[in-house]
Each structure stands twice: as C-alpha cells, then as structure tokens.
C-alpha cells in the first residue's frame, strides 16, 4: 500500500491542514477535465523559507510571513498584475483555489516550479505541472500578493458578512474615463520580480491552476517601478520624465507603516492585511511633450532634473507651500500635484505607492498607449486613497495630461503560513 | 553676430554634411508647428564612440559603424519595436528625418538625451528636447536599428529605382491570420536594451522627433530575448517553456554571418546591410499547456529540460534526423520543428534570429495574449526566411499552437557615420 500513499493523499480535499500539493481541481486545471489519471503527480507541501537576500537576481522573499510580501518589499523593477472573475463554483471550491494558489506561490517565490515535478519531468503522458519558461531563471525577487475584490463578498460564497467596511465600492471621481473591461475583479494577483519573464511565469501558472474556477478579467504588465519603498532605492522616473514617489512612505518608517499601511488587529480576518487600490492612468504624453519645461515643472511642483520642490532645496527638502515669489504668487502653484497630494494637505493621510510605468503599444492615431499603472496600499481607503484622489481629480493641474481608464480595489489579507493558505480567515 | 551663430546653424537644412543638430522640422516636431522660436536650442553633432563594454547596465554600443548595431550585438533582454508610416512629405524631408533620427540615435545610444539640452535644461519656455524618463539611467546596451519597408519605394519619394530585389513583398503563408494594423510599415526602428525604460525612451523620442513627418503604425514591446546571438549567452526560453535558438547563428560564426546575414558589396546602397523580417506570432498557450510532455517534446524535437535533440546527447549535440527508435519511427518526428527549421533541411540556409517573448494583456475570453515577436536578419529573404517559413507553415507540428498575426519586412542599411546618416545611400 505504501506505493499508493501519494495518490490517496492527492484525493484529499482538506484545505486547512498541511497541504499535500495541488487539489484534484487544481490538477484538473492543468490537464483538462476527464484527463486526470492516477499517474498525475503532486507534491508534499513544506515550509519554504529561504533567507531573504539583498537584491538582484538572487533575491528571494519568502511567501509565508506575518504580512504578504510585495507591499513593503523593496519595489522590484517589473510587474504582472492580474484580476480574475470567479466562475460557477461554491464556497469550498473557492477555499480550495486559494489553497492551490498558496501552494504554488510558496513554491514559485522560492524559484521552484508551480507543481512538484516541474516543467520537464513527471509522467510523460501528462502535461507538465509547470509551463517551463522560468526553468533556468532565479526568482529575481519574485513576490506574489493576493487580494479580494468587493464582488467576492456578494451572495455566491456566503461571504457577505465577512466584507470589511473599508472594502468600499470606489466612488466615481471627476474626470474618470473608466473602460468596463479594465475595472474590478473578484480576485487579484500582483506578481513583481526584477525579471519580467519570472513575473509572467507566475501569473500564467496561477491562471492555469485556476482553470475552470477563475479566469482572467484584465491584466497589466509594467516596468520601471515608479516608487521606491525603501530608503536604499533611488527615486525612479515616470513617463512624464519626473521623479515619482520622492515623498512615498518607506518600509523604514515603521510607525507610519503600522498606522497607514497595515490593518490593525481588531480581531477581524483582515488584521495584518492592507487595502490595494489600482488605477490604470493613461498619460497623454504627446500633449505633455509639447508643454514647456516651465509648465511641466509648474504642474508637478518640482524641478524636472533634481526633483527638488520649486520652493527650493534638493529632492528630499520638505516643500514650503507658503513661500511666495514674484507678485506674491506661491512658488509651488496652488494646483501643483505635489501640493495637493502632500500628506500636509490631506490631514496627514499618506499611502504606500508601488506603481509601474506601462506601454501597451500604440493607438490607431499613432500615439503611444502609455502611462502609469498606479498601485497603492493603505490601512483604510476611505481615509486615504478616496479623499486624496477626490482632491486631485478636482484640482490637480496634472489632470490635463491624464486619463483614468482602469480601477480596482482589493482587500489584501495577512500572510499565509504552512497549513493556513491566503484568506483562510474568510472560512474560519 | 557670434551670439546668433547657433540660431543660424539651426536653420541649415543640409542633411549630408556634418549635422549641427536636429533639423528645423525635427525641432517643429518637438514643440508643435508655429511655436518654434529663436530660443530653441540645438546641438553640435559629434562622433560619439564610447568603448563597447562587456555587459550589463554599463554596456554601450556605438551607433556609428560599418554595420548597424542591434544585429550581431549580444541580444539584450528587452525590445521596443516600432513601424512607421511616412506622412505627406517629400524626398528631401524624408532624408532630413533620417538625418534627425541618426543624430538623436547617436546621442541616445551613448546615454545622452535626444537633443542637446536634454530633459531638464534649455529654454524654460520651450518643451525640453528630451522627454526625461531615462535621465538617470545608463544606456544598458541600447541599440537603435533602422529599416525601410517595401512601401517606401513606391512613387512618393522617387526611390522606386532604389528598391532592392531582395526587398520583396512577403507571400501569403499557409495559415497566416494577419491583422491589418500589425502588418507592414514604411520605416521601422528596433530598440533593444537591458532596461525596458531605456528602449521605450528611445522609441518615444524618435516618434516625437518624427512628428508631422512619420507616425507610429504599430509597435511591440518584448522581454526575455528568445535567441542568443553570441556563444557567451545562455540559451533563453520562449513561452512554450523550451530553449529557443540553440542552433542560431552566432556572432562568432564570422564566415556564416558574412554570407548569411550581411548583404555583399555589389556596389549597391545595401552593401553591408541586412534584411529584417518580423512576425508577431501569438501562441495559444492554454492549448499548449494542456499537451502532454511527450507531445510537447515531439512537436519541438528536443527535450524540454536540457534542450537536447530527441536523437540524444546534450543541448548542442547535432540532431540525428535519421536515427530511428521503436517501430522504425524516427526519434525526431518528421513534423518536428527542429527538423524542418534546420539548415540541413533547407539547403544550408540559416538566419540570425533575434526575437522576444511578449505578453499583451489578455483577450476577452481570459486567455493571455502572449507569444513570440520573431525577428530575423539575413542577406536575402528570398533564399532564407521565405522558403524556410513556407516549409514550416505547411508541415510544422507546432502550427497547431501558433497563429501569425503580424508581419513586416525591412531593408536594414549599413551603419551610419559622422555626416552620413542612416540610409544616405538612398539619396546619393
């Protein structure tokens, strides 16, 4: 009988105890309904907790932890973000999907294949349990971060009572030009890595595992992170050519991170989690590129080269919004982005921004379809993203050069641990 | 008068002698018709020939040279490729555009801004002559490679007699599913770099300089080069998860490169050039991912892990197409990709492949819009790409998992030099 132990284990649908690999449905996703045979393999789950290393291709961030990785983790250079619609499954199958995803994410962030056998071994007459394009690649700092959209808490899964008050439906913001197919989602996955092939590999394999249970609603690739999340990182530039995220929250600001990023422990299932808001913001870069250097700096409120506030100093000098120049006009315009977005203008509210630049080819008029895929994390979007964005949407001089076309809000639960997949608190 | 010298120089439209910067039309592109004032700057051109360094972010490849860079140059990790339609301009303006592009490409490949002043200085009431998103970034091996499509040789520019015989209109291949907006182009630019933001910056600034003269027809971002072009590079993997380009021509194969990549010197303007064929090949990866490991390896003709031919050995062992296994069936299937694409099956014809993986989000059915942006260089597509692709399109077992949706063919002239922009031979 010992030879059959593994097959027996695979048939177990227990989603809360230590996992023995992908669920039967997860394996169905890999091979197609009706094809699963006894020869399909599975893995014994184990706690994969490599040491987090400094940076570069060798960087490894453990999937298990108090908080999910990919939030205060030093921002990697590449993004593949995906939103999913859950199909016609029930509550138990949803829990199973999250357990399968946690199992595979725990492996992939450690540089392993999504399944036990990997892309190039295992039963020869079954599809490999990993797609293979990352076979020779180190994880390059891969993080996989899961979130739950408001629609997950409708009546399909019996989760209505679990919907956190902070997981609001985002209001309409002035000027919004949202495109149906780029909004919402029951689930989201943010995959970040310094190698785009590694991030793509993660989303692809998680999509594959979800086959028949959840399908891609929209997805976005990004590059050139637009915010630093630690002090060691230089401030990158967005596609307006300006440094972006100079005043961002950093991992080192632990008190602020605790109050502004992580959800406090009130006994609820979101303790230790955070809320993610994403906005796909198309930049009308051809118009921006026609604006004078003076206009560009007025709009941003900082110098283009150094990124110093127009009130003087260097990049990290605190802006002096009261300082006036010629004709008593403030040196930093009343409508400048830096003024309106500043915590001082928003009752101290800040967010951890973690966005990426994107270029999705060009439109039919020959204009680059380019901009910023904005991502932010916060403890309560009602106090942070929403009021700040309302103010920006009404007054920001930058609006002339922006169009918000995509939007999402997701509850990002605390980290997983061995035997306790992402979102297990939903089902307690 | 000395104070006015620069302005006077800027007004010169001389496109063959040493350039003094962007043409008047090039500057118009930057600031919009009617806005150019005397205050807009320009640069004195100079030969920028940094030492080519080994690799990484510090790698610099000179723009000037016998051949254009970006062909036998060690394949960088990221691609931004763009095809352009030329607008309602004449022969002289076309020459001027190519001179402007050469001027800016010479600067950007050296890590400088597209124009003299750069993104953050220059006249404060004019738009910066560079967009700025690469301000703090090293060139990361940036190469910018220009090509001319068949339509450039129609009757608009008096170039019909200059059309090379090898610059054919590509035939229809069996199974082609080409999409209008992804085919053709009067001009193309291939920008490769190890940093996507640097490649995007190059295409964006060249598009900007072309404003009013040429506009984007289609464009493509890519990552994870799918071929090595030097022996020092490990063989990368495509989105089928297989190593791709094991048998590719390499820069070190100088005799083969001379005969199969570079156009011989027959006194024509294409001597020292090459022909680029691009194909946007969508992979139906969800179907592929359902195929067994056996089927995947049969289709490719190699093992998935090591990339060894199914006739045995290791990655670089020459395939033995005659070797038979059980039932006298050849170990490498008659329809295997490796068999049909092999030079031995094509009269010795080979190509220098230089493609990239792409993921352009997902389609409405939730499938990743992903695949291979295939690029190859050759001395004569009539003898190389066309017969090989005809054979593949008819017989390749891989076709079941592929769909060719985009296509282009471009004459890539020899390299530029100081005072002799790209394509100067067209106008001699």
Question: What are the tens digits of pLDDT across the range A322-346?
Answer: 999 989 999 999 999 999 999 989 9
* Residue A348, phi-psi category: left (phi > 0), alpha (psi -120 to 50), beta (remainder): left
Give chain A positions within 8 Å (CB) of B216.
362, 366-368
- The two counts, helices (H) then strands (E), for chain A are 9, 9
Bridge-partner residues for B357, per DSSP? B223, B372
What is the band of B16 on the pLDDT scale with cuts at 50, 70, 90?
Answer: very low
- Of A128, A181, A241, which has the smallest distance from its Cβ to B133's Cβ? A241
Q: Which tops the pLDDT comparison, B272 or A250?
A: B272
β-strand pairing of A214-223 with A274-283: unpaired
CB B366, CB A217: distance < 8 Å = yes
CA distances from B105 to A124, A286, A404, B203, B294 (A): 50, 20, 33, 10, 47
Query: In this structure, what token pair is assigned to residue A117?
Result: 């056998």
What is the per-residue pLDDT for A376? 97
What is the band of B41 on the pLDDT scale with cuts at 50, 70, 90?
Answer: very low
CB A78, CB A199: distance < 8 Å = yes
Average pLDDT over residues B205-226: 94
For residues B421 and B403, give the distance between their C-alpha atoms in angstroms, rounded to a whole number.
37
User: Min CA distance, B384 vs chain A (Å)?
Assistant: 28
Q: Give SS3 for B191.
A: strand
Residue A13 has pLDDT above 60, yes or no: no
Residue B33 has pLDDT above 80, yes or no: no
What is the per-residue pLDDT for A32? 52
- The reported pTM is 0.91
For residues B70 and B355, give the distance between their C-alpha atoms in angstroms, rounded to a whole number.
12
What is the per-residue pLDDT for B38? 35
Hey, are the CB atoms on B136 and A237 less than 8 Å from each other?
yes
Q: Give SS3 for B273.
A: coil
Residue B52 has pLDDT above 80, yes or no: no
State the DSSP string of B386-403. Answer: HHHHHHHHHH-GGGGGEE
- Of B128, B215, B305, which has the smallest distance from its Cβ to A135's Cβ? B305
CB B427, CB B95: distance < 8 Å = yes
Q: How many CB atoms lie within 10 A of CB B4?
A: 9
For residues B12 and B6, give the distance between their C-alpha atoms in angstroms, rounded to a whole number.
10
What is the per-residue pLDDT for A183? 98
CB A227, CB A353: distance < 8 Å = yes
- H or E stretch at A216: strand A214-223
Q: Is A156 exposed, middle or buried (0-12, 13-18, 19+ CB in 10 A)?
A: middle
Q: Which residues, other chains included, contact A383 with Cβ-Cβ below 8 Å and sequence gap of 6+?
A: A349
DSSP tag of B339: H
Residue B53 has pLDDT above 80, yes or no: no
Measure the CA dihedral B278/B279/B280/B285, to 10°: -130
Q: Give SS3 for A358.
A: strand
For residues B354 and B134, give the distance between their C-alpha atoms in angstroms, rounded to a whole number.
24
Query: In this structure, what token pair is assigned to residue A5?
Result: 């132990």
Query: In this structure, what token pair is assigned to residue A45?
Result: 């789950």
Residue B54 has pLDDT above 90, yes or no: no
Give chain A positions within 8 Å (CB) of B127.
289-293
Average pLDDT over residues A79-89: 97
What is the per-residue pLDDT for A161? 97
Hey, are the CB atoms on B364 and A223 less than 8 Å from each other?
no
Residue A242 has pLDDT above 90, yes or no: yes
Q: What is the mean pLDDT of chain A?
A: 89
State the DSSP string of A4-50. Answer: GHHHHHHT---SSS---SS-HHHHHHHH-TT---TT----------P
- Of B208, B220, B296, which has the smallest distance from its Cβ to A361's Cβ? B220
Share of chain A above pLDDT 70, in %: 88
Q: What values do phi and psi take at A30, rounded to 5?
A: -75, -35
pLDDT digits (tens, 9 = 90+) for A252-264: 999 999 999 999 9
A–B: how many Cβ contacts below 8 A? 207
Q: Give SS3 for B343.
A: helix
Q: How far, rounded to the nearest angstrom, does the alpha carbon of residue B236 sit from its chain's CA centroid? A: 18
Residue B34 has pLDDT above 50, yes or no: no
Residue B42 has pLDDT above 60, yes or no: no
Residue B14 has pLDDT above 50, yes or no: no
For residues B92 and B107, give the distance between their C-alpha atoms in angstroms, rounded to a whole number.
23
Average pLDDT over residues B22-27: 81
pLDDT digits (tens, 9 = 90+) for B314-341: 999 999 999 999 899 999 999 999 999 9
Q: Where are the domains of chain B?
A: 51-90+132-428
For residues B383 and A266, give the distance between their C-alpha atoms in angstroms, rounded to a whole number.
72
pLDDT digits (tens, 9 = 90+) for B393-427: 999 999 999 999 999 999 999 999 999 999 999 99
- Of A35, A215, A361, which has the smallest distance from its Cβ to B366's Cβ? A215
Q: What is the mean pLDDT of chain B?
A: 89
User: Min CA distance, A132 vs chain B (Å)?
Assistant: 4
For residues A77 and B402, give the distance between their C-alpha atoms in angstroms, rounded to a whole number.
30
Side-chain half-sphere exposure of A230, counting CA atoms within 13 A:
11
pLDDT digits (tens, 9 = 90+) for B168-197: 999 999 999 999 999 999 999 999 999 999
Q: What values do phi and psi take at B81, rounded to 5?
A: -110, 140
For residues A240 and A300, give the distance between their C-alpha atoms in angstroms, rounded to a whole number.
10
Average pLDDT over residues A203-228: 93
Share of chain B above pLDDT 70, in %: 88
DSSP tag of A416: B
User: Min CA distance, B383 vs chain A (Å)?
Assistant: 32
What is the per-residue pLDDT for B258? 96
Hey, are the CB atoms on A126 and B207 less than 8 Å from each other?
no
What is the per-residue pLDDT for B392? 96
């Amino acid at each position: 009988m010992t030879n059959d132990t593994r097959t027996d284990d695979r048939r177990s649908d227990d989603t809360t105890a230590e996992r023995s690999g992908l669920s039967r449905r997860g394996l169905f996703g890999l091979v197609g309904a009706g094809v699963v045979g006894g020869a399909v393999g599975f893995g014994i789950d184990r706690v994969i907790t490599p040491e987090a290393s400094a940076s570069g291709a060798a960087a490894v961030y453990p999937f298990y932890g108090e908080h999910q990785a990919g939030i205060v983790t030093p921002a990697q250079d590449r993004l593949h973000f995906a939103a999913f619609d859950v199909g016609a499954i029930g509550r138990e199958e949803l829990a199973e999907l999250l357990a399968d995803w946690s199992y595979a994410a725990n492996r992939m962030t450690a540089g392993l294949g999504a399944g036990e056998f990997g892309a190039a071994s295992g039963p020869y007459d079954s599809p490999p349990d990993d797609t293979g394009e990352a076979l020779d690649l180190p994880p390059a700092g891969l993080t996989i971060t899961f979130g739950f959209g408001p629609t997950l808490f409708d009546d399909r899964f019996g989760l209505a009572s679990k919907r956190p008050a902070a997981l609001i439906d985002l209001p309409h913001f002035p000027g919004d030009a949202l495109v149906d197919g780029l909004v919402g989602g029951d689930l989201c996955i943010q995959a970040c890595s310094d190698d785009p092939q590694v991030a793509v590999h993660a989303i692809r394999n998680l999509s594959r595992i979800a086959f028949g249970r959840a399908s891609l609603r929209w997805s976005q690739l990004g590059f050139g992170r637009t915010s630093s999340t630690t002090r060691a990182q230089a401030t990158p530039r967005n596609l307006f050519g300006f440094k972006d995220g100079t005043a961002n929250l950093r991992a080192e600001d632990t008190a602020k991170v605790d109050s502004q990023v992580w959800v406090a422990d009130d006994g609820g299932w979101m303790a230790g989690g955070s809320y993610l808001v994403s906005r796909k913001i198309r930049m009308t870069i051809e118009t921006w590129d026609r604006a004078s250097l003076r206009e560009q700096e007025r709009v941003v409120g900082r110098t283009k080269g150094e990124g110093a506030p127009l009130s003087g100093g260097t990049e990290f000098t605190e802006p002096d919004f009261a300082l006036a120049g010629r004709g008593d006009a403030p040196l930093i315009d009343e409508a400048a982005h830096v003024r309106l977005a500043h915590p001082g203008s928003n009752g101290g509210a800040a967010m951890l921004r973690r966005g990426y630049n994107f270029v999705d080819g060009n439109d039919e008029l020959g204009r680059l379809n380019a901009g910023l895929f904005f991502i932010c994390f916060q403890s309560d979007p009602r106090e942070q993203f929403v009021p700040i964005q309302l103010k920006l949407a009404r007054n920001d001089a930058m609006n002339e050069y922006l169009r918000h076309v995509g939007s999402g809000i997701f509850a990002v639960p605390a980290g997983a641990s061995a035997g306790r997949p992402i979102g297990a608190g939903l089902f307690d």
